[in-house]
Structure 1
Amino acid sequence: MFTMTRRQFSALLAAGLTLPQPTLAEGSAGKTLRVRFYDDPAGFDPANIFRIENENIAFNIFSGLTTYDGVTGDIIPDLATSWETVDNKTWTFTLRQGVKFQKGYGDFTAEDVIYSYNRILDPATASPYRSELAGIVKMDAPDPYTLVIELDAPNGNFLHTVANYHQGQIVSKKAIEEAGDQVRWQPLGTGPYYLESIDVTSQLVLKRHEEYYGGAAPIETIVFSIVKDEATATIALRNGEVDLVMRSNREENLEILKAEGFEMNSVMNYAVALKVLNPEFAPFADKRVRQAFAHAIDYGAITGAISPSLSQATDSILLPWMPVYSDNVPKYPYDPEKAKALLAEAGYADGFSFKHLGTSAQGVTELQQFEIDFLSQVGIDMQMELVDTPTFNQRRNAGEFEMATRLLPAVNPDMILFSYLHPSNMVPGGLNGARYDNPEITEMLEAARAEPDAAKAKAMYETIQQIVMEELPYVPSYANNVFWPGKPSVTGVNINYLAQVNFHSVDIAVA
């Protein structure tokens, strides 16, 4: 891993390292916020959007029927002002009136919601989020601002399904049809900002949606400069070339910025990174091999050594702040001898080799180097297969890997469990890259979602976690913390548990 000392930072600063200056449209006025964007943009179509940096853009362009409070994470109204249900099966939403789509695309109505959801459900769209809406059996609009949705079974978590995230984001039919095969680069919604321009090699520019229902945002223009290298991003902030760094994930950079008085905007323990093991690769079809894998790597030691501020080892696919989380599950402490014994029982006493799919933009990380070393000590040879980010997304979504990593931020634990464990979500139609299909778990997932008694539902969710952590289709590795360092003058940077920032609340204090 490349690390940088304070002396090296000073040398680069003295050398005059600067970023290309943002290019804005003629006549730009008002406040401009400059934000570091850390990877190649992969598109912003809610039907197939992936990766948190892209989702941050979409979160500010689109709206859902509901959304998440940036501070508490609670479900709050968005395009719907209120909702009713007596059985968690039939939901009636009262929609906000006077909402305008960006760029003159007209008024938002219930028909836009129906179109957006039907587009996700259409197999031709090939959305990995199709299963999230698969429970819908009927949608009606008695009038332009009333929407009635009937589900095939009670779902007490449905307000999460229709939130401003992935399948819940509402699009304009006219805009989608006009964009054609360029839809991922021409997003258009009802949110506080619209995409004015994009150069996939250098920057994205968002402009304030003046007719946003919540009022015009304090900042008129947001320039996202693509800066992949962490050290360069840190220097750019220190030089004043950016005002805010979207995701700083190097310990040494955070230490320097904190010492120099930059604001350390953060959210802790927000999502679990999982190893997705493809059972179509013979060794990973054996539960004992999966368990051996878990015993072979000491994630506590790794995170403590390289990123104590940024991550911590975890032993569940859920997080402790989630209401149905249970600590009463099988654990896999670091035990290389146990790992070797399990491998021998499974017929792999001499070990085996496999490929770990990753991105060339990220390269082989220090954490992965540690994983390679730990696994080699029990006879497992992990080889990195690095591809460009769009190819990585395509192959991971299609399940074309031996092992990949998946991190799914969610406020709703049911979303994580269904996404990873329900057979209807199996790749390529969903996020179940482990091809997990346990009829007992499937039945319990559906029963727990429909159960109105919270205590009974929690007991079922605990059993689900116990069985899944014993069978281990996914290996939890660490839970992430997210930091967006910024100038002290940049206020209102509230990172939610989806690692998203609502830029409508962000402002720049004037000295």
Structure 2
Amino acid sequence: MFTMNRRQFAGLMAAGLALPKTALAQSDGSKTLTVRFYDDPAGFDPANIFRIENENIAFNIFSGLTSYDGQTGEIIPDLATSWETPDNKTWTFRLREGVQFQKGFGEMTSEDVIYSYNRILDEATASPYRSTLASIVTMEAPDPYTVVIELDAPNGGFLHTVANYHQGQIVSRRAIEEAGDQVRWQPVGTGPYYLDMIDVTSRIVLKRHEGYFRGAAPIETIVFNIIKDEATSTIALRNGEVDLVMRANREENLTTLRAEGFTMNSVMDYAVALKVLNPEFEPFADVRVRQAIFHAIDYEAITGAISPSLSQATNSILLPWMPVYSENIPTYPYDPDRARALLAEAGYSGGFSFRHLGTSAQGVTELQQFEIDFLSQVGLDMQMELVDTPTFNQRRNAGEFQMATRLLPAVDPDLILFSYLHPDNTVPGGLNGARYNNPRVTELLHAARAAVDPTERMALYEEIQQIVMTELPYVPSYANNVFWPGKSTVTGVHINYLAQVNFYDVDMTVA
């Protein structure tokens, strides 16, 4: 949970970012959309942003060279109107002319692009996304509207790297320098909305960026009311206190809202939740133990019992809609007898205990209670180790756990595969919490990224998936679906595969 000390709060007040407890009604007929925001805001600096709810705000404040179509997930132009590459190694981007930063910070040019990427790469920034741009060798700006980037090796997925997400979001150098240590609370981008006011205890207000390069958005003001309790947010929607609920994740609430005719805006299979097994805990170093855990838990039965709308069992670290996804991989159907046999082969016929890191704010979830029960039936004792959220984030990022859960939304399969499997991303420097290091897989990752021929590329990715799902450094548990229930008067809510909504596409009918 984010907490704010007196000095930080004073900084917000001085910056004019405090918000009154009640919003003034608009009498000029302009449109105000009220959205449920489900957690404490943690800031909106692309270099260090974390958690999907904060990323939804940043996605609408900033732009990247490219972005994602909200309905298809395809790469589309954003700040760059076009690009070219002869070899997937040298990339030349042509920028839009006249693009304006919000709040009077001037025109966006190629120098801002280079500054933004160099800021991520600067070790002093301490960005967790630094490794994503580490392949950049040189960046040049031959003129204000051209950027030439040279990579250390071909990368056919580089358009994902420069998309409007984390390290790809373009900032204003002057705005960053003026914000100082308040940079995460004073974001300035070129997107369709700018941050107008924030009260970290109650709400966030975005205002339409009138100078947005695609034209002004249909809705002038978006008010994000912080409502942490799921049942309370459902009541707020039913009572008309909010127009749209960001992330409804209780089956009973979805059933109620669906029955009452609310629009069930959704995206299916947006990300896989993985069990991260630390091999420094001796039992987890044995592949037979890891395979036994997968066989021991019936995720199909669990998701069917507690969240049939919200999740489904999965067998891969990638998702079926990804073009490189392969079904030709080992699978681990629910088989407790096979699990017991594998444990006995590994020397653990009597079972063992282990600790699963979690947050005290979330507690022991219903899903985890099922996991504990299934594992106990094969002799494994999963004990939940609950800590506060900042400690959880610190320990998970440092790899200080025996088992943890991680979910990484991505449109680019390379982001998932490199983050989880490449040794350069081993914790604490990346998301490879399983400390996975297979030289063959590393070789295949680079070869697949560089491959131009689609058939060759697919064969390489298939081999990666076959090896990884045999060695099983991560245990896939379920794939999530995302729902944003809303009034029928709210249209254009297209949730992409990063669980983000481009509010530029959203409109509403006002009575």
Q: Say which SS state the counterpart of residue 268 (structure 2) adopts.
A: strand
Aligned to 2:206: 206
Aligned to 2:87: 87
Aligned to 1:251: 251
The residue correspondences of 1:322-471 to structure 2 (distance < 5 A) are 322-471=322-471
Once residues 127 and 320 of structure 1 are traced to their aligned partners in structure 2, the CA distance between those partners, rounded to angstroms, is: 30
Q: Which amino acid aligns with 1:485?
A: P
Aligned to 2:69: 69
Once residues 216 and 283 of structure 1 are traced to their aligned partners in structure 2, the CA distance between those partners, rounded to angstroms, is: 57
Once residues 351 and 123 of structure 2 are traced to their aligned partners in structure 1, the CA distance between those partners, rounded to angstroms, is: 41
- Check conservation: 1:356, 1:385, Cα contact below 8 A: yes
Distance 1:25 1:211, change over 3 A: farther
1:21: Cα distance to partner? 9.6
Aligned to 2:38: 38
User: Which deviates the most, 208-217 or 388-397?
Assistant: 388-397
RMSD value over aligned CA atoms? 1.7
Aligned to 1:9: none
Once residues 230 and 323 of structure 1 are traced to their aligned partners in structure 2, the CA distance between those partners, rounded to angstroms, is: 35
Q: Which amino acid aligns with 2:223?
A: V
User: Which deviates the most, 147-156 or 359-368?
Assistant: 359-368
1:321-345 superposed Cα distances (whole Å, 9 cap, x missing partner): 1111111111111111222222222
- Check conservation: 1:36, 1:224, Cα contact below 8 A: yes
Structure 2: runs of 5 or more not aligned: 1-18
- Check conservation: 2:31, 2:510, Cα contact below 8 A: no
1:346: Cα distance to partner? 2.3
Q: How many residues align?
A: 492
Q: Which amino acid aligns with 2:247?
A: R
User: Which deviates the most, 412-421 or 341-350?
Assistant: 341-350
1:49: Cα distance to partner? 1.6
Once residues 450 and 145 of structure 1 are traced to their aligned partners in structure 2, the CA distance between those partners, rounded to angstroms, is: 27
User: Which deviates the most, 230-239 or 274-283?
Assistant: 274-283
1:194: Cα distance to partner? 1.4
Q: Say which SS state the counterpart of residue 321 (structure 2) adopts.
A: coil
Q: Which amino acid aligns with 2:22?
A: T
Once residues 400 and 185 of structure 2 are traced to their aligned partners in structure 1, the CA distance between those partners, rounded to angstroms, is: 25
Aligned to 2:228: 228
Q: Which amino acid aligns with 1:23?
A: T
- Check conservation: 2:294, 2:475, Cα contact below 8 A: yes
Q: Say which SS state the counterpart of residue 329 (structure 2) adopts.
A: coil
- Percent identity over the alignment is 82
1:22: Cα distance to partner? 5.4
Alignment partner of 1:498 is 2:495: no
Structure 1: runs of 5 or more not aligned: 1-19
Aligned to 1:134: 134
Alignment partner of 1:157 is 2:157: yes
1:126: Cα distance to partner? 2.0
Once residues 391 and 192 of structure 2 are traced to their aligned partners in structure 1, the CA distance between those partners, rounded to angstroms, is: 31
1:226: Cα distance to partner? 1.4
Alignment partner of 1:219 is 2:215: no
Aligned to 1:116: 116
- For normalisation by structure 1, the TM-score amounts to 0.93
- Check conservation: 1:42, 1:390, Cα contact below 8 A: no
Q: Say which SS state the counterpart of residue 330 (structure 1) adopts.
A: coil
Once residues 353 and 482 of structure 1 are traced to their aligned partners in structure 2, the CA distance between those partners, rounded to angstroms, is: 33
Aligned to 1:274: 274
Once residues 391 and 228 of structure 1 are traced to their aligned partners in structure 2, the CA distance between those partners, rounded to angstroms, is: 20
Aligned to 2:285: 285
1:97: Cα distance to partner? 1.1
Once residues 107 and 26 of structure 1 are traced to their aligned partners in structure 2, the CA distance between those partners, rounded to angstroms, is: 33
Distance 1:175 1:256, change over 3 A: same
1:420-439 superposed Cα distances (whole Å, 9 cap, x missing partner): 11111122222211111111
- For normalisation by structure 2, the TM-score amounts to 0.93
Once residues 21 and 127 of structure 2 are traced to their aligned partners in structure 1, the CA distance between those partners, rounded to angstroms, is: 34
1:206: Cα distance to partner? 1.3
1:392: Cα distance to partner? 2.7
Aligned to 1:510: 510
1:291-321 superposed Cα distances (whole Å, 9 cap, x missing partner): 1111111000000111111111000001111
Once residues 257 and 389 of structure 2 are traced to their aligned partners in structure 1, the CA distance between those partners, rounded to angstroms, is: 28
Q: Which amino acid aligns with 1:457?
A: R
The residue correspondences of 1:480-495 to structure 2 (distance < 5 A) are 480-495=480-495
Once residues 247 and 23 of structure 2 are traced to their aligned partners in structure 1, the CA distance between those partners, rounded to angstroms, is: 24
Q: Which amino acid aligns with 2:285?
A: A
